[in-house]
Structure 1
């Protein structure tokens, strides 16, 4: 009987989604005769400690995963449950993505104190978000709105809204779904209006590359359509050398109607965007293909040809 130690951030959402993942892994282990038990270990990351400045100003990649990855490398934990959107493109040597489970709703959610949609927000309404990606697309759709940074966990952001500090806030719907607060959502923003972050709604189960016992178990947790979509999105991210501190979005879908690319492979459709933080410029491209990495690179190159690299360089500076 092996005890598998699972690392996670200590926020309510992180603990909830880690607990849900562990329960599914327990069932998979029992179904396949794999003898193991699980222990959850909370780890504080840099992104959790620094809450008084915007994510774009904290700097560095892996704000919410670096300390957890170090615990993996040190052998203090055996696997980690991350939100895929927090994962940098490059993983530390020796670590791998062991499984990508089925994706939750990838859309962004609008939560307001009155109006029922983005269009119904009054002119000049104050909207809170910690994401330059959301701010860029929101300002592009509604240049009249005021956008200010809001940090903290989900319940603290909702409390700031209820206390009247904001007229509306934007959150990932996946997190609200996982903790059972979907009734707080006023409206879902379609990808056509607000393209999600790379990997948004998906989980990443990370482990050591040489841990065959854990890899065998995680292989049974993999959801291949989600994994393919995430691979395309992360390929796009990697080419643009982006992260959660820059206004980049990407969302891939995988055909589920028995159609394919013509060579027997699933057909993916990927849309990627890069925008200025104020929303005055918003570059967006879409394409379809069967190779997720090639598709991500294709969309990235199309945006680079339109000046995406210059936008991102200016934001980082």
Structure 2
């Protein structure tokens, strides 16, 4: 092929990610023309309603998928945490890139940690998973919805609308904007388990064998193992971004992988959590097996109730 077209959202982070993948592909295919085609997705347009109420993070991928299916683009670059576990016919997840910092982070101009937050502090996040984790850690704080791109969210913090906000550490780090607030403090995954695939880029393509072969060179083996476990866990639970699910797989050594997982109610009133160490050779089955242990403890009923609360 002489040309590749990358479908991308227009946010600064989405453009950074797509430009990064374009540059990585150029290293492998220096003579190929690789261009970006920008889209505004439904998720970018609706900023006054929590994602869980309008269809979840798939709203950020739909327009890009249509462009690929209609032949107007060959691939799309996503934050893997935003990529649903099932795809439209004709599309697939072809590569995942090396993982960056998977943690969530607290950003504040007043307080350097969750422990320092005073009673009644106003924390900005719309993520049901982060809400659950925060309420488990600090049931005395107040949670307030927070939508918009990273820069918009930080601007709201700096305008004094929140005492602190929670964002994915990697997005702030990629844009190099940690110093726009006084405190940027990543949170241990022992305290706040990330979303599936957080800090990994997922490259979605058509199923065209030529495209798949071209893009597969970007796949990172470690990220592939970790994200397979995480996505299998969520898929088996039949969960998505409409419900509070955290799962993080971490390769411990050449033989084992550590997996942390949690599901629960957005207000932290109920939760199920597990941490296991599994044989890395069986990584393709680990997520499903772990999810079944959650199901045996009533996770599906818990998530159904959590979803009803989220849609109120």
Same fold (TM over 0.5): yes
> What SS does the corresponding residue of 1:63 show, helix, strand or coil?
helix
Please give the alpha-carbon distance, in whole angstroms, between the structure 1 residues aligned to 2:135 and 2:84.
26
Q: How does 1:62-73 map to 2 (within 5 A)?
A: 62-73=58-69
Aligned to 1:295: 286
Aligned to 2:250: 253
Aligned to 1:205: 203
Aligned to 1:189: 187
Q: How does 1:5-154 map to 2 (within 5 A)?
A: 5-30=5-30, 35-59=31-55, 62-154=58-150
TM-score, reference length from structure 2: 0.94
- Give the drift of 1:193: 0.5
Superposed CA deviations along residues 257-305 of structure 1, whole A, max 9, x for unmatched, are xx31xxxxxx222111101100122211122232233110122111112
Query: Are the aligned partners of 1:117 and 1:186 in contact in 2 as well (CA < 8 Å)?
Result: no
> Which one of 270, 284, 289 corresponds to residue 273 of structure 2?
284
Superposed CA deviations along residues 210-263 of structure 1, whole A, max 9, x for unmatched, are 241x3222222111000110000000010111111210011001134xx31xxx
Please give the alpha-carbon distance, in whole angstroms, between the structure 2 residues aligned to 1:218 and 1:59.
29
> What SS does the corresponding residue of 1:98 show, helix, strand or coil?
strand
| Change over 3 Å in CA distance of 1:5–1:154 after alignment to 2 | same
Aligned to 1:304: 295
Gaps of 5+ in 1: 261-266
Query: Are the aligned partners of 1:173 and 1:182 in contact in 2 as well (CA < 8 Å)?
Result: no
- Give the drift of 1:74: 0.8
Alignment coverage as a number of residue pairs: 304
Query: Are the aligned partners of 1:252 and 1:271 in contact in 2 as well (CA < 8 Å)?
Result: yes
Please give the alpha-carbon distance, in whole angstroms, between the structure 1 residues aligned to 2:107 and 2:57.
28
Superposed CA deviations along residues 68-114 of structure 1, whole A, max 9, x for unmatched, are 11111111101110110011110111112121110111100100121
> What SS does the corresponding residue of 1:62 show, helix, strand or coil?
helix
Please give the alpha-carbon distance, in whole angstroms, between the structure 2 residues aligned to 1:121 and 1:280.
20
Superposed CA deviations along residues 108-167 of structure 1, whole A, max 9, x for unmatched, are 010012111110011110000020000000010001011111100111111111111100
Superposed CA deviations along residues 147-188 of structure 1, whole A, max 9, x for unmatched, are 111100111111111111100000001111111123345211
Aligned to 1:264: none
How well do the aligned residues superpose, as a CA RMSD in angstroms? 1.4
Query: Are the aligned partners of 1:4 and 1:78 in contact in 2 as well (CA < 8 Å)?
Result: yes
Gaps of 5+ in 2: none
> Which one of 161, 164, 168 corresponds to residue 164 of structure 2?
168
